[in-house]
Structures are given as structure tokens and as C-alpha cells.
Structure 1
């Protein structure tokens, strides 16, 4: 799925520490979830497009996000239109789209292993109460497993089509075709999970034990300046909302 895949490029955001990018996403999510005006959500949408542009991510990813989550976006729009006004429906649609854009931007400018390491280091102050290492490991396996399952699903679908299954006919036949994919995909997921567990045991993985990293993260001056700028913008935004 290209809309959530890492996109290698030489941009300002690709060179930044993943902890700084996590801060940007957390700050953006707080603004998106607390902004109640349609104009504010629209401004945040253009701000996310600016993040895509400065990260040198192709803007076609935005369309891919809309295409991938079109049913979720459509249902959200129709439910809010039915229970409220057109303005409310558009506002909630933009809120959901903004959250999807932020996640796609983060995964586009950050490699999955680097992102996991940054998350683990960010959660280190809470290691007395949370299994930080295990949480990072589970997230890493999830990010690695998801593309593999998508690839397996495509291969199974092609194999089913070669055997005469038509996924483009009426809903009943389409449902039977999808059910024919479930068992092979489930068995493939179990097989891959067993292989990963055996590989981790062979490498001496011990839950909770300290582990090293091939590439150590380094928080630089530009990360500090960027974090200060982001926090300042969040405070200015909230200050403007309180005064208007």
C-alpha cells in the first residue's frame, strides 16, 4: 500500500530525528481533535499538504489515501450529514482525512525501524510502568507484517482468479470469493508468525533485556529549534481560538 509506505527522499523531514517527527504528529493530532471550526480544519488540511510538499512526498499519496479509505470517509460523511448539517459532515470528514494524512506523512518520511526506535526512546521515562521494549517490538512486527499480508492477499487473489473465481460480479459471488481467501491468508499469517518466533528464539531474544541498535539516533540543534517552533505554533493556535 503506497499511501503508508516509506518514500526515500533527501528532504528536511527525512533527516530529522524520529522523536521530533513524533512530536509534530502528536501536536497536529491535538490540533485536529480540538479544532471545532470548519475553517480551522480546512487550514490544517492545507498545512498537511505543506508537510507533504516539504517532505518531497508525491501528492498522489493524498489521492491514494482517499481512494484506500473511501468507504470509511463516505460513511463518516453520510452519518454526520444524517445527524447534523452539511457543515458538520464536511468538518468531520476533514478531521478524519487530516488524521490519515498525518499518519501517511510520518510513515512516508520515516523508516519503520527508525520510527520504532524513536518511539521506544520517547517512552523510556515510563519504563517503570510500561513494557517499553515489548511495545516497540510488537509495533515493529506489526509494521513489518502488514505489507507482507497485503502481498500474500494479492497473490492469493491472483491464484483464485486463475482458478476461475470472479471478484467483479454480484455481491454474493464476491463474498464467496473473499471467503475463499480467508483460510489461505490465515494459514499464511500463522506460518509467518511461527517463522518470526523461531528466528527471534534463534537470535537469543529475551523480553525486557537491553538491546543495542545498528544506528544510534542523535537529537540535533535543528531538531530542538523545530520542536520549539512547533510548540510555539500550537500555543499561538490555541491562544487565537481562546480570543476569537
Structure 2
């Protein structure tokens, strides 16, 4: 399952979404996420799903690939759905047994909340899949550049975000290798009772943490040896260029916002 993690991965390509300025994609994802929280009925959620599918096709990505990326967080989505189903009341009673009952409002809100999370995850994943870590770092640094006047370490923050995203798939691959090594030694973390599975995780977590700290130390040493000093005197080989298509892409948020407002209950 862990090898299906797509968050933080970058797929080189020449699609329309690949060619957009990373700053535009970052702003679009941020504003579109705000619009998603305005959805409050099935029509608006259907519109959000259609827009997401259109962006996915423009990025030349497969739906099955993005769906596989949901598998590692499937438990969180299922837990969110069940919390709404069992604890949100209102509407028609669907199931009633002794001390608990399931009502239609809880089921409706549960499904809508899961859809909201899925759309946000899809949009964010499309951005990371079509934007290299270096471009994402430059975009964050450029957008938050005014904060440098407040003596905030904008460059270091952007670099930290980029490295974090970059090492997500690396750590997932490392976790898979450790799990396979433990399985070869007779360890079983997939079956058994919950306490037994938790105890079986300890031999997995210790080498994983050691490997993560070792990678962090090696990266720090490599950056120090190469004379890295933050953004002091730093130049960029590839300059970010804002083009007309980036402006047109952001302007598309206006009709999306208007449609959302008109279609809201």
C-alpha cells in the first residue's frame, strides 16, 4: 500500500498544467480550496468533481493513479464518514437499534465531508505531481518574499517545505523495505489482534527513525560541504516567468466562485 503513495512525487511531463507557473498553481490550489469549503449540496460537489477531472485531464494523469494515492489515508476517510454517520443527527431515521440510530443528515454530511477531502487531496496531489520540488520552493519563496521585511526566514521555510514533500515518497519506500525485511524474518504486522499488531510495529519504527535521522544528517553535511548559506548571494538558474495563460488560469476562479454561490442551497 505504501508504494502507492503519490503525495510529494513529481512526474515530468509537457502537459498544459506542467507548463503553468508554479506560483499560479499554488495560488489556484489555495483559492480553490477555500471555494470547496463553500460547497453545501450535491450540485456544488458535482461541479467540484467535474472541475477536478478536467484539471486531471489537462495534466495528462490517470484517475486510477490518483485513486491509488488515497489508499494510505483510506482509514482517515472512513473514520470521518463513520463519525458523521453515528453522531450527526437530523433528517429521516434510517436505522434504529437500541441506543443508537442513523439518520439521513449524518449520512449526507459524512459523504459530503469525504468528497471535500478527496477533492482537496486530488487538487493538491495534481499540483505536486506536475511541479518539481525546486519549482515549488521558488514559488513559495517568491510569494512570501514580502515577509522578509519582517525578518522572517522565508527562504529557509520554503526549503523546509520542499524537502519535506520530497522525502515523503522516500520515507514511504524505506518503510516498505523495512516491512519486507521484517516479514522475511517472520514478523507479521498485518494480522492478529490490535495489541499484537502494535507490538509488532516497534521493530519497524526503530530502524525507520534511525534511517530518517541518518538521511537528514547526510543531507545537512552535503549542504554544508557545498557551502550552502541560505539565500545570501544566491542566484537562480531558472527564472519564474508569469505568462498570459497563468493569468487566464486564475481568472477561471471567478466563474467557479459565481457558480458555487448561485448553486448553493
- TM-score, normalised to structure 2, is 0.84
Structure 1 residue 214 corresponds to structure 2 residue 217: no
* Bigger mean CA deviation after superposition, 210-219 or 109-118: 210-219
User: Based on CA coordinates, which of the two structures has the bigger radius of gyration?
Assistant: 2
Which structure dedicates a bigger proportion of its chain to helix?
A: 1
**Structure 2 Cα separation of the partners of residues 80 and 188 of structure 1:** 38
Instruction: Say if 1:166 and 1:173, in contact at 8 Å, map to a contact too.
Output: no
Q: CA deviation at 1:8?
A: 2.4
Distance 1:11-1:72 versus aligned 2 partners, 3 A rule: same
**Aligned-partner SS, 1:14:** helix
Question: What aligned pairs does 1:127-142 form with structure 2 within 5 A after superposition?
Answer: 127-129=148-150, 130-142=152-164
Structure with more relative contact order (C-alpha pairs < 8 Å, separation 6 or more): 2
- TM-score, normalised to structure 1, is 0.91
For residues 131-159 of structure 1, give each alpha carbon's deviation from its aligned partner in whole angstroms, at most 9, with x where no partner exists.
21011111122122222211221111111
**Aligned-partner SS, 2:228:** coil
**Structure 2 Cα separation of the partners of residues 169 and 2 of structure 1:** 22
Q: CA deviation at 1:241?
A: 5.4
* Bigger mean CA deviation after superposition, 212-221 or 71-80: 212-221
**Structure 2 Cα separation of the partners of residues 149 and 65 of structure 1:** 15
**Structure 2 Cα separation of the partners of residues 238 and 149 of structure 1:** 39
Question: What aligned pairs does 1:41-52 form with structure 2 within 5 A after superposition?
Answer: 41-52=45-56
**Structure 2 Cα separation of the partners of residues 9 and 50 of structure 1:** 17
Alignment size in residue pairs: 242
**Structure 2 Cα separation of the partners of residues 235 and 99 of structure 1:** 16
What RMSD, in angstroms, separates the aligned Cα atoms of the two structures?
Answer: 1.9
Instruction: Say if 2:44 and 2:263, in contact at 8 Å, map to a contact too.
Output: no
